[in-house]
Chain A
Amino acid sequence: MSKPILVVGAGPAGLAASHALAAVGQPVVLVEKERTLGGAPILSGYAKLVPSGEWAKDAIGAMVQRVEASERIDVRRATRITAFDGSPGAFSASLSDGSQVEVGAAILATGFTHFDSINKPEWGFGLFPDVVTTTQIEQMISSGKGVRCPSDGRKPKRVAVLLCVGSRDRQIGREWCSKICCTVSANIAMEIREELPDCHVYIYYMDIRTFGLYEDRFYWRSQEEFKVKYVKARIAEVTSDGERLVLKGEDTLVKRPITIPFDLVVHAIGMDPSTENPGIAEVFGVALEEHGHIARASTYRDMSATSRPGVLVAGAATGPETIDDSIAQGQAAAMAALSAAGIALRAAG
């Protein structure tokens, strides 16, 4: 029997990679730092996923169950990798539980960290209770409690979603687009309009990047069916008049300053590199790219490869990524891991 493949992280990419390997008969050691499997969609309590509209607990939950039910996958919860040595086909990993595993290759599916809005103090997060993040809105929806103002539990009459919070912002060193926040915001806006038809939702944008098939299903649909309003303005400041929040900025299409009152302000937070990445880079000996994500060695020929042979990467560990693409990359990395570990599948029959 060949040495197992080490998969680090049990989010969508790690779950997909583990399942793909197990499905072809390959043993896997799946190491997850949290007690719960499922990654960001489960740990952060996402509601309905883009683009399927399936609830995260059902969609990702099914992936978790599949992995948990597999005899070939050795799941280690609340565990980290402390050392990783060797070469392709013969790596040795030390785990925080004191054990040691011999593996043929490793897949880093270590994901991302949500941007912390505290780093944009001018937008009021942490200062005003009714300034929340998209993640908090997801939790309000997934918990079944509905979208309410945290300050007094009232139903908001007017909601502002601020895009690019922690993205496309050189001032705070986030020079990337987080790719998914526009679509997630359009989705959230539609969910709010559905739950609270009297509530007006405004999305403040610099550009709308609902790429590919998200364009009509999310951007157009939010306008055409749900009458969500899009305002071209990057908000300068979120303050309060004592009763409601007040957005200050410039409406660039009208070329006039605006100070508009709102009940609830939502930060469409971006995807930061995982805060664990410096440690991961040191333990696994892999390079990070300029923004701090795990660097890919090749875009095309070996798209799962990192700078270290035999160590592969998948999903949002490489940069902002969607759930479905993370799953595809997890499967691609599984195939690459078999090849890197020198494992040839036996002929069927």
Chain B
Amino acid sequence: MPIHEKSLIRPENLTTHDKLEIDGVDVSGHWSTFIESRVLTDYNEALQDEVQALPGGEAVHRCWQCGSCTNACTVNAINPDFNPRYWIYLIRLGMEQELLRDKDIVWQCVSCNKCTHVCPRDVNPEGVMKALAHWLELKGHTARSPSTEFDEEFASQVFETGKIEESRVIRGFFRRTGQPLMQDWLIAMTRRMLRHVPVKLLLAMGLQGLLRPSTRSWGAARGAIRDYVARRERENRRALGLDAAAHQGD
């Protein structure tokens, strides 16, 4: 007999006991398969407010589900599971569990802003995607990845000096991720650079690496940026009901 609406059964909703006996009958294995209920039993009313407190998410409550964002979406054309319209709806109604199922694809947004330009209600879906990714991160739903480490190393150097110095970024990144400095590909690249890059430029690069000069008059900007980032982090964490201790990005 065919199982109707089989597509609605999600693998994570199937439970099977390897060893189970009910009233003396052995129902181990697939005999004991249960499908958990698909029913949504409540709304998390804090969710919309939390996403709205994060930069980009402010106008999410305006959405009326026309789907223009998803139709315009660059990523959706490649990955049909990437559906901003749907996530906006889940945020609005506080369907958190449903949202978390897609936590690993939300970040795929390429910020092309086609959705933003097509939206008839000024929802700023691109901003919502950013806010949502941020929300997932702050709530601890997204694991820290090597790219998180890279981003933070990169940003910390920009905050510090107003510019980046590539060799420092790479060394910092390796240190954060526990990688050895001497890696075959890096050695090969350095060798080729020594052979092909003009001596004058190599010297300039070396000097930059040693002296680590800042952008001119960076001191005031550094302080202002640090203050702003710290304040933003505090506000974000407070809005999400997390501890007020600022999350240090550097």
Contacts and interface: CB of A to CB of B under 8 A. Distances in A.
Interface of A: 158, 200, 202, 208, 219-220, 223-224, 227, 229-232, 251, 253-261
30 contacts: A202-B43, A208-B64, A219-B64, A220-B62, A223-B61, A223-B62, A224-B61, A224-B62, A227-B48, A227-B61, A230-B64, A231-B93, A251-B40, A251-B93, A253-B65, A253-B89, A254-B40, A254-B89, A254-B95, A256-B39, A256-B40, A257-B39, A257-B40, A258-B40, A258-B41, A259-B39, A259-B40, A260-B40, A260-B41, A260-B43
Interface in B41-91: 41-43, 45, 48, 61-62, 64-65, 86, 89-90
Identify the 8 closest CB pairs spanning chains A and B, nearest first: A257-B39, A258-B40, A227-B61, A224-B62, A256-B38, A253-B89, A256-B40, A200-B45
Give the residue among A202, A220, A230, A232 with the most B Cβ atoms within 10 A: A230
B98 A256 contact: yes
Interface of B: 8, 38-43, 45, 48, 61-62, 64-65, 86, 89-90, 92-93, 95, 98, 121
A88 to B, nearest CB: 50
Nearest to B60: A227
A259 B93 contact: no
A227 B40 CA distance: 21
Give the residue among B42, B43, B90, B95 with the most A Cβ atoms within 10 A: B43
Contacts of A255: 8
Contacts of A256: 38-40, 98
A251 B39 CA distance: 10
B92 A260 contact: no
A261 B42 contact: yes
Nearest to B42: A260
A259 B41 contact: yes
Contacts of A258: 39-41
A105 B234 CA distance: 75
A231 B40 CA distance: 13
Contacts of B8: 255
B64 A254 contact: no
Contacts of A229: 92-93
Contacts of A208: 64
Contacts of A232: 65
Contacts of A261: 42
A254 B89 CA distance: 9
A253 B40 CA distance: 13
Contacts of B95: 254
A257 B98 CA distance: 13
B90 to A, nearest CB: 7
B128 to A, nearest CB: 15
Given A158-B45, A229-B93, A253-B89, 15 more contacts: A200-B45, A202-B43, A208-B64, A223-B61, A227-B61, A230-B64, A230-B65, A231-B93, A251-B93, A253-B65, A256-B40, A257-B39, A258-B39, A259-B39, A261-B42
A257 B38 CA distance: 7
Contacts of A254: 40, 86, 89-90, 95, 98
Contacts of B89: 253-254
Nearest to B92: A229
A132 B92 CA distance: 25
A195 to B, nearest CB: 18
Nearest to B7: A255
